Structure formats: C-alpha cells, structure tokens
C-alpha cells in the first residue's frame, strides 16, 4: 500500500504555527514588560546583558504557559498534566519574576531566574501531556 499525498487543506494546516506557538509569541512581550517592571524597568543601554536575560526568561515563561493550552479538539480540558510537578512548572514563571525582583539589574539574579524558568520548561517537556479522563 503506497502512502497518499496530503490534500491541499491538509498541507496548509501542516505549515501553520500552532496556537501554542502563537500564544507564546503573544504572551512573551507582556511577560518581558511585567518582569522588567517588577525589577526596575528595562534598561537596554545601561544593562544590555540583564535585559537580554530577562527577554530570554520571558520567552521561556511564555513557552511554559503556552503548554497549558488545550490540545486541538479538546477545548474544554486544559492540558495541565498528570503529576503535581506539572503544576509546579507553571509556578516557575512567577518564581522567576520574584527572583528578578530580589536583585534588580543584577546579572547573577537574572541567571538564577533563567535557571528557574529553564527548569519549568524542561519539566513541561518531560511530563506527559495528557491523562486519562473519567
């Protein structure tokens, strides 16, 4: 049996970005502004490394939050995960903001916040995406 080529509508949907990617791109600027605001505001001229780290933290945080969106076809059930650790990954976003606010403009605190956000992102990637529903 030879595989069939996808029809035109299928080809169009394959190359479109998913709603999780769109949500992450939409949320990342708001997270960047929020995280910058709680730690003194963005300062790309005086602290470019810190500003770049905060931008990276915002992108990782947005990616973590986007993984909680429901999968296509299951709009009523959030994709929270199967373990309590799946919820902890979402809490790394405000935890990163708290770490940033503890040392405004300081690169070491931004690196620690990046590690916290990276942990949350890795946790969401390793956790199974769905559970059996009753």
How many angstroms separate the CA atoms of 74 and 23, rounded?
17
How many C-beta neighbours within 10 Å does residue 124 have?
23
Nearest C-alpha neighbor of 61 from the set 97, 86, 37: 97
Q: Where in the sequence is the domain holding 105, given as residue range(s)?
A: 18-126
pLDDT attached to residue 133: 45
Return the higher-pLDDT residue of 114 and 46.
114
In the chain, % helix, strand, coil (3-state, to 5) comes to 65, 0, 35
Q: pLDDT tens-digit profile of 47-57?
A: 889 899 999 99
- Total domain count for the chain? 1
Domain presence at residue 10:
no
Contact 18, 70 (CB under 8 A): no
pLDDT attached to residue 79: 59
Domain presence at residue 6:
no
pLDDT attached to residue 134: 43
Domain presence at residue 132:
no
Length of the chain equals 134
Lowest mean pLDDT among 5-19, 45-59, 113-127: 5-19
pLDDT at 31 over 90: yes
């Amino acid at each position: 049996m030879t595989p069939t080529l996808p029809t035109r509508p299928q080809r169009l949907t394959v190359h479109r970005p998913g709603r999780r990617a769109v949500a992450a791109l939409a949320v990342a600027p708001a997270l960047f502004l929020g995280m910058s605001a709680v730690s003194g505001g963005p300062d790309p001229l005086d602290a470019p490394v810190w500003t770049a780290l905060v931008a990276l933290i915002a992108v990782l945080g947005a990616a973590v939050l986007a993984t909680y969106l429901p999968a296509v076809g299951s709009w009523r059930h959030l994709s929270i995960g199967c373990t309590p650790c799946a919820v902890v990954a979402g809490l790394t976003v405000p935890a990163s903001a708290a770490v940033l606010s503890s040392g405004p403009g300081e690169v070491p605190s931004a690196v620690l916040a990046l590690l916290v956000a990276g942990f949350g992102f890795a946790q969401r990637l390793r956790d199974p995406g769905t559970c059996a529903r009753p």
